[in-house]
Amino acid sequence: MLTPAFILRRLSTILAVSIVTLTLLAATSGILIAFYYQPAAGAAYDSLQAIDQTIPFGWLVHTLHNLSGNLVIVVGLIQIFVMFLGERFRRSWLTAWVSGILFTLSAIGLSWTAMILNWNQIGFWRLKIELGTIEAIPFIGATLREILTGGSVGSLTVAHMYTLHSYVISLAALGLSIVHLTGLVFQEREMQSEMPAVQPVPQEVEAIAEPSSAQVSI
């Protein structure tokens, strides 16, 4: 029966599959880009230009990487809203809910660490501004800025951001997307197991309900 709860569960499952698909697409295209990318100031921009202009279908891989990375954030935010509407306070739902939130935060983190990886003017000055905000955090701001940049914004900053983007956060996002989908699958199985089984109609009842051929002829 198409109840609102059923529709929300199906929609959340479809969105979870979309999240895993987009994450795998971003990871695969990212690996292909990493074959030619050089994480250094100046060289990062030149290598991406070479990928877009000289590598066969490099522009397509680069575009798919950017689109999948941005789209997965949108899908993740929609998924959080859909799961909030169809909340079910059980362990499987809570697992999917928490992993979905953490995944969306990871996807945003991937987008943030990628801002300097192309080494253009927009990414450079945007990072400088946001590093000032990070440095204003009490007690840990200066240390956190030093960890992210390695000093002044330059080749070491690109290398740090590339490491976080390609290895740390991306692996976490991939694992969280799988956990998220698994939690929703287990929730669906639990819901189906709790549904009452449909009992078959006994043959005696069917025989009584159906009129005999003699009655029909009369």
**pLDDT for 25 beyond 70:** yes
Average of per-residue pLDDT across 2-26: 92
Please give the average per-residue pLDDT across 165-184, as a whole number.
96
Banded pLDDT at 216 (limits 50, 70, 90)? very low
Please report the sign of the dihedral spanned by the C-alpha atoms of residue 198, residue 203, residue 208, residue 210: positive
Say if residue 30's pLDDT is above 60: yes
Give the residue among 116, 130, 99 at the shortest CA–CA distance from 23: 99
Higher pLDDT, 201 or 131: 131
Q: Is 212's pLDDT higher than 80?
A: no
Q: Is the pLDDT of residue 158 over 70?
A: yes
Between the alpha carbon of residue 15 and those of residues 39, 64, 151, 164, 170, the distances in Å are: 33, 19, 41, 26, 19
Of 5-19, 77-91, 197-211, where does mean pLDDT reach its minimum?
A: 197-211
What pLDDT was estimated at residue 218?
47
Quick one: pLDDT at residue 211? Answer: 57
Q: Is the pLDDT of residue 201 over 70?
A: no
* Coil, helix or strand at residue 54: coil
Q: How confident is the model at residue 209 (pLDDT cuts 50, 70, 90)?
A: low
pLDDT of residue 198 exceeding 80, the answer is: no
CB 48, CB 37: distance < 8 Å: yes
Name the nearest CA neighbour of 184 among 52, 102, 88: 88
pLDDT of 172 > 70? The answer is yes
Nearest CA to 117 among 16, 187, 47? 47
Q: What is the mean pLDDT of the chain?
A: 88
Q: How far apart are CA 170 and CA 176, in angstroms?
A: 10
Determine the Cα–Cα distance for residues 29 and 133; give it in Å rounded to an integer: 31
Residues 6+ apart with CB under 8 A from 9: 86, 184, 187, 188, 191
Locus of tokens 């939130």: 101
Q: Binning pLDDT at 50, 70 and 90, where does residue 192 land?
A: confident
- Mean pLDDT within 104-121: 95
Distance, CA of 183 to CA of 190 (rounded, Å):
11
Name the superfamily (CATH) of residues 4-115+170-191. Answer: Cytochrome Bc1 Complex; Chain C (1.20.810.10)
Q: What is the pLDDT, as a whole number, of residue 127?
A: 93
The rounded distance, in Å, linking the Cα atoms of 183 and 79 is 13
Residue 106: pLDDT band by 50, 70, 90 thresholds?
Answer: very high
Query: DSSP string of 116-140?
Result: GTT--HHHHHHHHHHHHHHHTSTTT
Q: What are the sequence ranges of the domains in the chain?
A: 4-115+170-191
Among the listed residues 110, 100, 11, 105, the one whose alpha carbon sits nearest the alpha carbon of residue 68: 110
Contact (Cβ atoms closer than 8 angstroms) between residue 44 and residue 158:
yes
